[in-house]
Amino acid sequence: MKILIKKSLPRTDRQSYVNVTFEVEHDRTRFIEHAHGTALALGVKSLLPLTRRRTITLMRRIVKEAQDHEITRLVLQKDSLPSLPGWHLDAHDCCRLLAENAHMAAYSFTAFKKQTKGEYHGLQELVLLGMFTKGERNSLARGDTVAQEIRACRDLANMPGGDMTPKLLAQRIRKAAEGSGARVRVLSKADMAKLRMGAILGVARGAKEDPTFIIVEYWGGRKSAAPIVLAGKGVTFDSGGLSLKGADVMLDMHLDMSGGAAAAHAVLAAARMKLRVNAIALIPAVENAVSGESYRPGDVLRSMSGMMIDILNTDAEGRVILADALTYAKRYKPALVVDVATLTGASLVALGTKASAVLTPDDELATRMCTLGEVSGDYCWQLPLWEEYKGMVKGRFGDIANIPTKGPRYGGTIGGGMFLAEFAEGYPWVHIDIAPRMTSDEDDNLAPGATGVPVRLLVRLLEQEESR
């Protein structure tokens, strides 16, 4: 889909455009035929008054309804949204949110769909009708750039495990970075062995596919400015390993590299927007597989930090590979490290499917992330990471255990955070558990599958860093 700005519609093929209008008295959708064309009238009663969140919902619904009605070219008058009750966004903010969310709603994963002639191929043009200032056009362009990276991120995440191995993930990210201004380096299994990344290598052992460690570097800021490091979990398929998952929960586990895809594409967005920041993505990529070579429950892995990890459950592998990534991050002397991972099912128990969990020992940083979540639309909620929880991850024979060792099995998301905290030493750090947002809900007005969370949040973070 393309978003186009026009002052007026061409006289000749006006009939091929459908105008979107709003009706505030009800929630139904209907077509209205006028002498000068057709209008898609959306009932918006339950979205009024328009909060920021509801505005985001509405922007997606516009595209979703257009697609449900097989509309190819849709026209939105510039002043139509601001005329709705409760409107409070400024014009730039509106342009940014509209571009991001219209594109997100228009997306679907089509890599394996046969293209049939004469079939409906989704909304092709969203025409914004009116006068736009240069600033507003820039905001639309920024939203467009972010949306393209979200699209690419969702494409990576949605790709089945057999078609998205650690090696293929590295290739795809390398290709995506071409011409962006960011640089990609990929460490091989042998490189990782030299660096003594025993945690990543341990998890990867059962797979036929070798692990990779993908590094995306964008140096857009001052040379002396410390970078922000985004570490993303890149488990290309998670069977659970010998602590095997059940069939029902294994089905979507090709999405277990969503955090890695988001970290990479957030850095690429920053590069394409030419932000004056330094940003690095680190993606340990492995397949967690079952074989005679698999790491076992009870094994003790020596991490890059030197800390010995008790593997009590091979399905808690995300935190294990991120441990080495967090240690590797130290060499950048980072201003901040954000790790992003589909880490725990427990985060869904805690938050349902509407928010990612944010965990950090630094309350101010947690507030900053949750605020950015609200601004971007990648909503977050804080869970505690107090020292009182430290006993949860005490090692049995090693230094630290990869799942809570004692007491009732509650607070699994906090357990994951407490484990990572032990490796995130010497820099400010925040952990985002995006498992609740790994796949879309029906009422998100997004296609089934990956959501591209939290690319928008990470980009806003990098933009904020630029202006600090």
**Interface with Zn ion (CB under 5 A):** 238, 315, 317
- Sequence-ordered alpha helix ranges (H) in 159-276: 166-176, 189-194, 198-204, 247-250, 258-272
Q: How far is the CB of 248 from Zn ion (least distance, A)?
A: 15
Comparison of 310 and 315: residue with beta carbon closer to Zn ion: 315
Q: How far is the CB of 315 from Zn ion (least distance, A)?
A: 4
As a whole number of angstroms, the distance between CA 305 and CA 324 comes to 7
List, edge to edge, every strand of the sheet that includes 308-310.
300-302, 308-310, 400-401
Nearer to Zn ion, 155 or 238 (CB): 238
Minimum Å gap between C-beta 245 and Zn ion is: 7
**Residue 49: which of 80, 86, 83 has the closest Cα?**
86
Amino acid identity at 218: Y
Closest to Zn ion by CB, 146 vs 311, is 311
- Taking the complex as a whole, how short is the minimal distance between the CB of residue 156 and Zn ion, in angstroms? 19
User: Whose CB is nearest to Zn ion?
Assistant: 315
- Of 205, 319, 456, 460, the catalytic one is 319
Q: Which of 245, 276, 368, 394 is catalytic?
A: 245
The count of C-alpha atoms lying within 13 angstroms of the C-alpha of 173, restricted to the half-sphere facing its C-beta, is: 39
Do residues 435 and 344 touch, judged by C-beta distance below 8 A?
yes
The answer to whether 405 and 298 are in contact (CB under 8 A) is no
**Closest to Zn ion by CB, 143 or 161:** 161
Dist. CA 190–CA 209, nearest whole Å: 13
245 an active-site residue?
A: yes
CB neighbourhood size of 328 (10 A)? 23
- Look up residue 394 and give its DSSP letter: B
| Shortest spacing between CB 344 and Zn ion, in angstroms | 9
For 367, the enclosing helix (H) or strand (E) is helix 363-376
Contacts of 138 (CB under 8 A, 6+ apart): 92
Neighbours of 123 (CB within 10 A): 23
Find the distance separating the first CA and the last CA of the chain, reported in whole Å. Answer: 34
Joined together, the tokens standing for residue 176 give 């995506």
Residue 42 phi, psi (nearest 5): -95, 125
- Closer to Zn ion by CB, 100 or 317: give it: 317
Query: Residue 208: which of 301, 287, 94 has the closest Cα?
Result: 287
Q: How far is the CB of 321 from Zn ion (least distance, A)?
A: 10
Cβ closest to Zn ion, residue 233 vs residue 272:
233
Residues catalogued as catalytic = 245, 319
